[in-house]
Structure 1
Amino acid sequence: NALAACPGVGEVAVVGVADQMMGEKVGAVIVPAPGHQFDITVVLARTREQLADFKVPQYVSVRSEPLPRNPGGKVLKAQLRDAQWEPVMRR
């Protein structure tokens, strides 16, 4: 919810990203809202203000196409785990 409430975010899904040391780390797949300014640094800064550090995404994938969903409208997170992940710089 913290990510979805950020300005410029249209859709978001949070998934586990494989990590050799920790097993998994937090990853967020974000679809910017059409017609809005989107700045990932602003989104992450606002998220850090609202969440504990370990809950803030350490990897981000920004995509232009809508998130994949099943016929019931649920996000197909298994398909998102293979996204092109970009590490987020930690403070």
Structure 2
Amino acid sequence: MGKSEQSTYIFTFTRRQTLIFIKDMLKEIIKSRGMKQTFIAQKIGVSVVTVSNWVQEKSSPSEKHLKKLSELLQVPIKDLVRSKFTT
């Protein structure tokens, strides 16, 4: 990974950045751990449809749900998102 790619990963949300949820990472983690979307939805307090929408990239989790998802899956937030800098 080049220097510019490394600098795009962030840990905090700012007004100048748009976070882009990485659905493929979520799919891979769910599959590798044998988790069901129903289980994830129950644990973080959202509907199964919401989790399905995240996996299909129809929507992205809020900051609150992203933190819960990170904790549940035991992966850093930076592994679930990438940032797109806006002007």
TM bucket normalised to smaller: under 0.3
In terms of fraction of residues, the more strand-rich structure is: 1
Q: Which has the higher helix share?
A: 2
